[in-house]
Amino acid sequence: MKKYLKYIISIILIIIFVFSVVPKNFQNDTFYIIALGEQILEDGLDKVDHFSWHNNLEYRYPHWLFDIINAEVFDAFGLNGIYVLVCFVSVIFMLVLFWILVKKKNNWFLSLCSTLLVTYLIRNSFTGRAQIVSYILFLIEIQLIELFIKKKSKLSCLGILIISSIIANIHATAWIMTLVLFLPYIGEYIFVLYTLEEINNRQEKRYIKEINKLKKSQNKDNQEKIKKLEQEIEHCKIFRNREKKEENHKIIIKKMNNEKWLFIPLICAIIGAMITPIGITPFTYYFKINVGNTMGYINEHLPVIPANSLEFLVFTIVVIALIGFTNSKLKLSDAFLILGLYLMSLSARRNCYLMIPLCCIPITKMIQDFLDFNLQKGTSNFDSSTIKFFKILFTIFTIGILGISIYNYIKSSNVPYVDPKTYPTKAIDFVKNELDLNEIKLYNSYHTGSYILMNGIPVFIDSRCDLYTPEFNKGVVVFDDYMDVQYGKSTIFEILDKYEMTHCIIAKNSIEYTYMKDDYRCINLYEDDNFVVFEYKKAELVME
């Protein structure tokens, strides 16, 4: 029991800490996910949008299975149930990471510290969105790819097929990452083929082949040629022995024979994505969304500003310190993985939350190698006083984590799931009770649309940005029109007239409110501390 006590304590600490840092405020996507799930349970996957007042919009339900799960939980337990679900999945995520770190033969305490640090850095990703599931699956996928390379395991192929299928149904918008995660290993295989060592090996094989041919011919004149070829083989062996001194290289380059068979699990991943009722959406979504304008406006898709991103800064400092100032080594595939995810994070800040847990594994291994090299001896050789000191240190560490967790619990105890400063909780009640929903065309913001539609009110726009773009619905430019208002390219009145809207729910800190509050065409029907409901009439109607 004593042998496993440290792991039991570590697991308990991870669970407590994760629960304490999961944000209680839900992001806007969570609300439309619940509404979509309820719609799917009622009408099935009909590929039609039911929540905006725009006619004939096609919607592919890219995370339909996740929507259903959330709707079922919400119907049974409300937002409390959604919060517990997020906490539960987040705990699984961090426990899987801890288990992988330990299995990689890292010290258990180092694995615990890495897991807790990752938990803190990506805490804002713990929310009711499909990424909390897909990120776990990506983490497992990498382990299955490495298992295949190591043992050519058939079970790893089956696992990748299953994971790919689950992601295609739970988070099809991110499925392309299933293929991207193969690239570091494919890149390593291609790179190794053209290293001097591999070229040298191929030359040696050619020389041996030529010698065998010459020996079979039994021609005495061939003896001189054979002697020269044998000398060349000796040169190849000398070169190979010199190259094998890995301590001279920061990046470890090893030929893995099974890497050439990676196309098998890759095909399994592609087949897995076909096992879905939403057709080719997993294959096409990423490319369609990148062609449109949404990537240039939505906050999480914008490039990272390093000075404003704590998680990005911490990651960068740790990687530079390990590579530049320690003797730790890095596998070429891990180097490709870190570099690729780093560049992805620079281009879109949402990728930071994927980069940190996936890259935590090779980075922790580098730290372990550094400690092993410099400590020179294991804890088994420490004297009793040193061991006692470490136990006291771990006790203080445990108390510290518990203290931080308790502080986080107290701090978030009164935080509402739906922030009334962010979402029009009271204004929605007015609209539902005082207005005829069948007769109005409501203007709302991108950020409030999901909460409004969850309450049964048809919206102008919501955070399903793809729905409102021409890449997904030909001729539809709702997203572009909305953004033109936000950036001053069009006035709010031009958009209201274009779509013949009759009412608006407007935040008081918005650009729309600045123009509408004193305009004669806008009638203030309702107002609270944060939002206003306006009735809008065209100028010619007001004059009448």
| Least reliable range by pLDDT among 293-307, 446-460, 518-532 | 293-307
pLDDT greater at residue 289 or residue 267 = 267
For residue 442, the cross-strand partners are: 503
What order do you get walking across the sheet with 522-527 strand by strand?
A: 442-443, 503-507, 531-536, 522-527
Task: Give the residue from 185, 107, 99 showing the smallest Cα distance to 365.
Answer: 107
> Up-side HSE of residue 189: CA atoms within 13 Å toward CB?
15
pLDDT-derived band at 244 (thresholds 50, 70, 90) equals: low
User: How many angstroms separate the CA atoms of 257 and 261, rounded?
Assistant: 8
User: How many angstroms separate the CA atoms of 224 and 13, rounded?
Assistant: 72
Query: Are the C-beta atoms of residues 80 and 110 closer than 8 Å to each other?
Result: no
**pLDDT at 254 > cutoff 90:** no
The beta strand positions in 175-322, using DSSP E, are 251-252
DSSP string, 196-211: HHHHHHHHHHHHHHHH
| Least reliable range by pLDDT among 78-82, 127-131, 373-377 | 373-377
Average pLDDT over residues 240-247: 54
Query: Are the C-beta atoms of residues 7 and 108 closer than 8 Å to each other?
Result: yes
The residue type found at 468 is Y
User: How many angstroms separate the CA atoms of 450 and 419, rounded?
Assistant: 13
| Least reliable range by pLDDT among 109-123, 193-207, 423-437 | 193-207
User: How many angstroms separate the CA atoms of 508 and 516, rounded?
Assistant: 10
Task: Give the residue from 450, 399, 446, 407 showing the smallest Cα distance to 428.
Answer: 450
**137: Cβ–Cβ under 8 A, 6 or more apart, which residues?**
163, 166, 167
Residue 443, SS3 per DSSP: strand
Query: Are the C-beta atoms of residues 213 and 225 closer than 8 Å to each other?
Result: no
**pLDDT at 246 > cutoff 50:** no
Tally Cβ neighbours within 10 Å of residue 421.
Answer: 12
Percent of the chain clearing pLDDT 90 (strictly above): 65
pLDDT tens, residue by residue, 22-48 = 999 999 999 999 999 999 999 999 889
Q: What's the pLDDT score for residue 204?
A: 64
Q: What's the pLDDT score for residue 219?
A: 63
| Least reliable range by pLDDT among 56-60, 69-73, 425-429 | 56-60
Residue 504, SS3 per DSSP: strand
**pLDDT at 338 > cutoff 70:** yes
Average pLDDT over residues 421-429: 95
Token pair listed for 93: 């995520």
The dihedral of CA 155, 161, 164, 166: what is its sign?
A: negative
User: How many angstroms separate the CA atoms of 227 and 482, rounded?
Assistant: 79
Average pLDDT, the chain: 88
Q: Which helix (H) or strand (E) holds 526?
A: strand 522-527
Please calculate the CA angle 516-520-523 and round it to the nearest 5 degrees. Answer: 70
User: How many angstroms separate the CA atoms of 240 and 245, rounded?
Assistant: 9
**pLDDT at 539 > cutoff 70:** no
Q: What's the pLDDT score for residue 323?
A: 86
Q: What's the pLDDT score for residue 24?
A: 93
pLDDT tens, residue by residue, 281-317 = 999 998 888 777 777 777 777 777 777 788 888 888 9
Tally Cβ neighbours within 10 Å of residue 55.
Answer: 6
**pLDDT at 501 > cutoff 50:** yes
What single-letter DSSP state applies at residue 157?
A: H
Q: How much is the pTM?
A: 0.89
Beta strands at 503-507 and 531-536: parallel, antiparallel or unpaired: antiparallel
Average pLDDT over residues 347-364: 91
Residue 506, SS3 per DSSP: strand
Average pLDDT over residues 69-91: 97
Q: What's the pLDDT score for residue 21?
A: 96
pLDDT tens, residue by residue, 82-141 = 999 999 999 999 999 999 999 999 999 999 999 999 999 999 999 999 999 999 999 999
The residue type found at 429 is D
Q: What's the pLDDT score for residue 485?
A: 94
**pLDDT at 212 > cutoff 90:** no
Counting every residue written for the chain, the total comes to: 544
Residue 462, SS3 per DSSP: coil
pLDDT greater at residue 78 or residue 300 = 78
| Least reliable range by pLDDT among 126-135, 171-180, 232-241 | 232-241
Percent of the chain clearing pLDDT 70 (strictly above): 87
The dihedral of CA 269, 271, 274, 275: what is its sign?
A: negative
**pLDDT at 226 > cutoff 80:** no
Q: What's the pLDDT score for residue 55?
A: 87
